[in-house]
Amino acid sequence: MALPYISHCNFEDGTKGHFTSETDTTNRLDIAHYSELARIPGLEMPFNGAYCLRLDLGTSNTDAFLQEDTLLDLAASGSIWFRFRAWIDPNIAMANATNLPLLTLQSAGPVAETVVGLRATGGAVNWALGETAPTSRLQIATLGEWQTVELSVTLDSGAPNDGISILYVDGVQVSTALTGLDQAAITQVSLGAVGQNAGVTGGIVLIDDVIADDTRIYGAFASRFNNTTSILKSRHLWVGPGELGDISLISGGTDNVLKVWDTDIASTNDPSRLKCELRTSTANEVVPYFGPPIKCTRGCYVEISGTASAGGPRAIATIKNAVGWGSAGAVRNYGSKRFAIPSNAY
């Protein structure tokens, strides 16, 4: 585990996170709350927590994406890894030989230099990889289930045209590496639909837990609903009423802080919703919680802050019980009945 990651966006504060900008002229891309998803028959819940990115393929085929302009720049010969979770609607409508880019690494222009996405061919929807469009290294997508997608990129060093891209789906490499790529330096990365083919006309794509780093990230087989769980970034542990058995802050810098809030919208405004606070003034220290189980009524949001290093900050927590947790069905059942607080305060 290589911490801290170059970037990590889990959408758990209901925003686009570290992404610099959003392009979406037809309002088909949003950060969706689990309660919104729960009211739409057939949609999955976020991979973790309360929010995920939602892309509606049927509204239009105009570009709809989040863009990162600085954190993920890559010079000649540079290497980078990406990992994200994706759920593809079983009712996705893609004409044969059409593409849907979902992760695009671009040089100035912008010009696509490596693209991961979906391609319909032979009657199947496939995960695919390409230099300018997702057209090769096909692996049939499992529709209606969360999948873990990883991309390894070693950028072209210049004249030799020796760029390499490798695609992994659920921890397994898809076919052979894509080699001999002629690429320029990466200046921006886009997540979402960039150049969606007109033949892609319906369905929903959900994306969650997006990470980039200089080494492989793994995590393809991580359980969504494990009682004891690692927390690498602020997020909701569960939604709805529940109890937190124990939690420990694992510090990186000397100013790391962990707070547990009773909320399912990442609200940290009301101090009366603060249930636990752990602090450290020592690097690489483990700070455990000593006390009875922590009860939350709206949800459990763990906020982690402070200077990061290879040690942390991160946390390990044990969930004692929770209504909106344990399965996607449990989250959906609670979400479909969730009532809004006036002004949606927490």
Contacts of 214 (CB under 8 A, 6+ apart): 2, 6, 79, 80, 81
Q: What is the structure's pLDDT at 3?
A: 86
Structure tokens at 226: 């494990």
> SS3 for 272?
helix
Which of 135, 202, 142 minimizes the C-alpha distance to 169?
142
What is the per-residue pLDDT across 205-251, written as a single tens digit (0 to 9) for each? Answer: 999 999 999 999 999 887 899 999 999 999 999 999 999 999 999 99
Angle (CA) 154-107-12 rounded to 5° is 80
Q: What is the structure's pLDDT at 222?
A: 79
What is each CA distance from 111 to 18, 81, 120, 133, 298, in whole angstroms?
22, 19, 23, 11, 45
Name the stretches of the chain with pLDDT < 50. Answer: none
- Quote the CA–CA distance of 20 and 188 in Å, as a whole number: 10
Domain coordinates in residue numbering, the chain: 7-213, 228-344
What is the per-residue pLDDT across 11-64, written as a single tens digit (0 to 9) for each? Answer: 999 999 999 999 999 999 999 999 999 999 999 999 999 999 999 999 999 999
Q: Residue 128: count other Cβ atoms within 10 Å of its Cβ.
A: 27
CATH code given to domain 7-213: 2.60.120.200
- Quote the CA–CA distance of 58 and 225 in Å, as a whole number: 31
Structure tokens at 295: 């009860």
Contacts of 184 (CB under 8 A, 6+ apart): 107, 108, 111, 113, 156
Kindly state the DSSP code that residue 3 receives in the 8-state scheme: S
